[in-house]
């Protein structure tokens, strides 16, 4: 028996473990310190009431012979896929329900989609970004090249027409930088992918945080995307489903490579390795799109964004430059005085008792930057802002 040797090529990510250990050590030596955690990428507000009500009702149905459900459809129940296609229509995007695939979240789909691609594909990943894209490709033994995201390009790299790649990751709004692609820039990626027969894997896990009506929520708002893009969406940050687990992937039937529809390959993959998202959860997700659900999720998103505004004001008052925070729950700040990411981590912990995430954990270009999130409580965020203003 041989293990998958590609695992030896993974860089051990000690980021969150290191953060936890350093924080624990600091608390031990400073038991009086009240530490505020602003590094978290998880939501803290409870599920919207509309979702809870829908899941309660669905649980009761499952206990009654006439309405009990066993295995569901691999690609999700029609009621949820219909609600998702209606949501897409709000952004002018038309999908038929057999182009929508419901799952237990974007992370699984982002990893699992790689089953439908050959090993010999060159993969382009922005740097810095959500580390899952790189790690899942390394596990599969694929070559990864990077697109530099930096201050010069507003953390939104554009295609390099001289380079040939096959699979392109785009995360917009971006984790960790909070940067969001404009229609014009996305069009450049779509045209580049179509020219090269490449496929774009577009992660829109944070689309619900976009306020600016000029910015696209979906890559399918861009002409030409249907023949080159797959979109990954999630109820996690949109509706607090990080622990409830539901997401969806959109693949147009027009996306064809080597005579095969990628939507068909994905359905084949899912029906072989996945037995569907629980009925109860799908009913909860459906409720996100009701008027009541929409109002409740918007309230929660506004709460997190208000937190970002509070942090942003505190940083501005100290002349610390930052990006994001407006159409995203993430604030990406430049470490003051040219400090390195981990040095700023120590400094912020010691001076303000605030814990954040060193930017270097998201890629080489993250060095010298730092991520703070709006996912904490309003009280703690206010307290953190006061400490930054007074002490930093």
Note the residues at the interface with ligand PLP (CB under 6 A). Answer: 41, 105-107, 130, 171, 175, 203, 205, 234, 236, 242, 247
Among 388, 355, 353, 375, CA closest to 307: 375
Dihedral (CA of 346, 352, 357, 359) sign:
negative
Distance CA 57, CA 51 (A): 10
Closest CB 100 distance from ligand PLP, rounded Å: 15
Residue placing its CB nearer to ligand PLP in the complex, 104 or 343: 104
Q: What angle do CA 147, 137, 105 make, to 5 degrees?
A: 100
Q: Work out the end-to-end distance of the chain between its first and last CA atoms, rounded to an integer number of angstroms.
A: 55
Residue placing its CB nearer to ligand PLP in the complex, 240 or 293: 240
Closest CB 196 distance from ligand PLP, rounded Å: 24
- Residues 6 or more apart whose CB falls under 8 angstroms from that of 129 comprise 149, 169, 171, 174, 175, 176, 362, 363
Q: What pairing do the DSSP bridges indicate for beta strands 260-261 and 256-257?
A: antiparallel
Residue placing its CB nearer to ligand PLP in the complex, 176 or 312: 176
Closest CB 311 distance from ligand PLP, rounded Å: 18
Q: What pairing do the DSSP bridges indicate for beta strands 260-261 and 143-148?
A: unpaired
Residue placing its CB nearer to ligand PLP in the complex, 175 or 365: 175
Phi and psi at residue 260, in whole multiples of 5°? Answer: -115, 140
Full DSSP string of 219-242: GGGSTTGGGTEEEEEESHHHHS-T
Residue placing its CB nearer to ligand PLP in the complex, 369 or 387: 369
Residue placing its CB nearer to ligand PLP in the complex, 36 or 106: 106
Closest CB 195 distance from ligand PLP, rounded Å: 26
Closest CB 205 distance from ligand PLP, rounded Å: 4
Closest CB 330 distance from ligand PLP, rounded Å: 9
Closest CB 268 distance from ligand PLP, rounded Å: 22
Residue placing its CB nearer to ligand PLP in the complex, 84 or 205: 205
Helix extents (H) in the chain: 15-29, 49-62, 78-89, 106-112, 132-139, 183-196, 236-239, 262-273, 279-288, 291-317, 341-352, 378-391
Among 260, 196, 266, CA closest to 231: 266
């Amino acid at each position: 028996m041989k293990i998958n040797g590609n695992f030896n090529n993974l860089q051990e990510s000690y980021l969150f473990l290191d953060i936890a250990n350093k924080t624990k050590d600091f608390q031990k030596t400073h038991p009086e310190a009240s530490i505020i955690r602003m590094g978290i990428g998880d939501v803290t507000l409870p599920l919207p009431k509309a979702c809870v009500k829908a899941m309660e009702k669905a649980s009761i149905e499952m206990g009654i012979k006439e309405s009990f459900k066993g295995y569901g459809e691999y690609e999700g129940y029609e009621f949820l896929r219909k609600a998702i296609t209606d949501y897409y229509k709000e952004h002018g995007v038309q999908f038929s329900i057999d182009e929508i695939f419901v799952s237990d979240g974007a992370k699984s789909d982002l990893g699992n989609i790689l089953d439908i691609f050959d090993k010999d594909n060159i993969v382009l990943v922005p740097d810095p970004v959500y580390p899952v894209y790189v790690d899942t490709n390394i596990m599969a033994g694929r070559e990864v090249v990077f697109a530099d995201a930096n201050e010069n390009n507003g953390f939104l790299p554009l295609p390099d027409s001289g380079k040939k790649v096959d699979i392109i990751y785009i995360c917009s709004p971006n984790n960790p930088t909070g940067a969001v692609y404009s229609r014009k820039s996305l069009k450049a990626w779509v045209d580049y992918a179509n020219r090269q027969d490449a496929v774009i894997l577009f992660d829109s896990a944070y689309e619900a945080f976009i306020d600016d009506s000029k910015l696209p929520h979906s890559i399918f708002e861009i002409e030409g995307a249907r023949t080159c893009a797959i979109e990954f969406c999630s109820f996690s940050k949109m509706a607090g489903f990080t622990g409830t687990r539901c997401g969806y992937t959109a693949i147009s039937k027009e996306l064809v490579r080597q005579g095969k529809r990628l939507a068909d390959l994905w359905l084949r993959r899912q029906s072989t390795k996945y037995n569907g998202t629980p009925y109860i959860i799908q009913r909860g997700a459906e409720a996100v799109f009701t008027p009541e659900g929409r109002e409740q999720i918007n309230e929660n998103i506004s709460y997190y964004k208000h937190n970002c505004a509070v942090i942003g004001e505190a940083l501005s008052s100290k002349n610390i430059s930052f990006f994001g925070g407006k159409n995203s729950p993430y604030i990406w700040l430049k470490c003051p005085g040219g400090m390195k990411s981990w040095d700023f981590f120590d400094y912020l912990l010691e001076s303000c008792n605030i814990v954040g995430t060193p930017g270097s954990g998201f890629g080489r270009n993250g060095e010298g930057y730092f991520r703070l999130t709006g996912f904490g409580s309003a009280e703690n965020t206010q307290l953190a802002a006061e400490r930054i203003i007074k002490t930093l």
